[in-house]
Amino acid sequence: MLGRTFGALAAVLVAVGSLAVYNYLRPVDAVAASPLKAAVVRIAGQPPTIAWPSGAASAVGVPELGSLGSHGDSSPQPMASVAKVMTALVVLEGHPLTLTQPGDAVMVTGEDVADYQREKAEGQSVVPVQQGEPIGERQLLEGILIPSGNNLADLLARWDAGSIDAFVAKMNARAAALGMKKTHFADPSGFSAQTVGTPSDLILAGEALMAQPVLAQIVSEAQVDLPFAGTVYNVDYALGRQGIVGIKTGSAPKAGACFLFASSTKVGGRPVVVVGAVMGEPTLDDAFAASEALIASVLPGLQLVPVVSASEAVAEYRAPWGSRTGLVAEKDISVVAWPGLLLHRRVEGPGAKAPLADGAAAGSFSAWVGTGRPQSVPLLTDGPLFSPGNFWRLTRPFSDSR
């Protein structure tokens, strides 16, 4: 009987010992980073009243923030020559240029000359061409964005895609990719009344254009020299007023006057671009005046808000065995902000496997306002994360392994 008791006790001790050895040897879970800041906070303050034009559709935004609002008729309307913004985007993305490159030479065909003659007779905006003569890609882009040559838009479309229809399909696909949900292109120049959009959609195209250094440079030019045409002048004669650096005008009987604009400013010393659109004004002068008023009303609300300072802890690794280390920003982050919009903060990074040294890379911290582009900064540990001790490894609960 005594032998059986000792045998049972030995079996229990062996089982307990085996369990302790297993518990000691099994892997230790990674320690997840715990944020120390709220994920979302609202920017303090009262936004200024935006000077929306009466009787016209309009919208305004900042790439770092997203839309600041829209006003007026939100149904799609003819955009006229503002369509050439998308034409330029599609061409440049298919045939990239640097700021100093003229681009490929495009040979003028008989069809291009016939287009020029027909469109000139119809009273459209055109730029002279000559059959068999080459024109550089950059000059063609200047020709559609500065004097607004409808015939050059068609010429570029055929050169890029082989046909007008194929190019228009590319325009609509690019618009969809940008999120322009109420926009439809029927032609490369915008002469067709079936080429329609909304101010909010046009802002998305304007932001995409301003992100292309070549196109941003072109739309800021007051004049250029083109083959067969000589010196031509920018239809956007609001350049320089209220910081306006582009982008494109449009005017037609069914469209009224449209203006997709970009205005360059500085907020807390940081360059910022305000992008907006006005559609359906009686004249270009009215469209320019409305745009300048929009810009002037928006600027006072823009501010630079500090989000995190270098060496400030935004998260921590806190291990169940008692070891802890903070995760600190490698450098400052400040964001352009607008009162009432939401500031988003996010910590991203892998779980930590101990031991972890002081100053070890520990993922990143991102911040952004509204629907704007995030700014990110690397995170570093501000101290070591120690390995668990023997006692903890032996006695930890089995539920800690995920």
For residue 78, the one-letter residue type is P
- pTM assigned to the model: 0.89
Q: What is the DSSP letter of 302?
A: -
Token readout for 150 is 């409808």
**How many angstroms separate the CA atoms of 308 and 143, rounded?**
46
Helical pair 164-178 and 84-94, crossing angle rounded to 10 deg: 100
- Do residues 111 and 158 touch, judged by C-beta distance below 8 A? yes
Which fold does the domain 73-300 belong to in CATH? Beta-lactamase (3.40.710)
Indicate the SS3 state at residue 314.
strand
pLDDT above 90 covers what percent of the chain?
88
Residue 326: CA count within 13 A, CB half-sphere: 10
The catalytically annotated residue of 81, 263, 291, 323 is 81
- Do residues 311 and 333 touch, judged by C-beta distance below 8 A? no
Q: What's the average model confidence in pLDDT over 68-81?
A: 96
Q: Is residue 84 annotated as a catalytic residue, yes or no?
A: yes
Q: What is the pLDDT of residue 21?
A: 75
Task: Give CATH for domain 27-43+306-400.
Answer: 2.60.410.10
Contacts (Cβ under 8 Å, ≥6 apart) of 204: 178, 179, 180
**How many angstroms separate the CA atoms of 163 and 150, rounded?**
15
pLDDT in tens, 359-398: 999 999 999 999 998 999 999 999 999 999 988 888 887 6
Domain chopping of the chain, boundaries: 27-43+306-400, 73-300
Rg (CA), the chain: 31
Element (H, E) at 337: strand 333-337
- Report strand pairing: 134-136 vs 66-71: unpaired
At residue 12, does pLDDT exceed 70? no
Q: Is the peptide bond before 355 cis (omega within 30 degrees of 0)?
A: yes
Backbone dihedral angles phi then psi of residue 366, each to the nearest 5 degrees: -120, 150
Q: Is residue 309 annotated as a catalytic residue, yes or no?
A: no
**Angstrom distances, CA of residue 150 to CA of 33, 129, 208:** 57, 12, 21
69 sits in the region (left: phi over 0; alpha: psi -120 to 50; else beta) called left
At residue 310, does pLDDT exceed 80? yes
At residue 93, does pLDDT exceed 60? yes
Q: What is the pLDDT of residue 402?
A: 42
pLDDT in tens, 273-292: 999 999 999 999 999 999 99
The catalytically annotated residue of 84, 189, 248, 263 is 84
Indicate the SS3 state at residue 144.
helix
Q: What's the average model confidence in pLDDT over 315-322?
A: 95
At residue 22, does pLDDT exceed 90? no
Q: Is residue 182 annotated as a catalytic residue, yes or no?
A: no
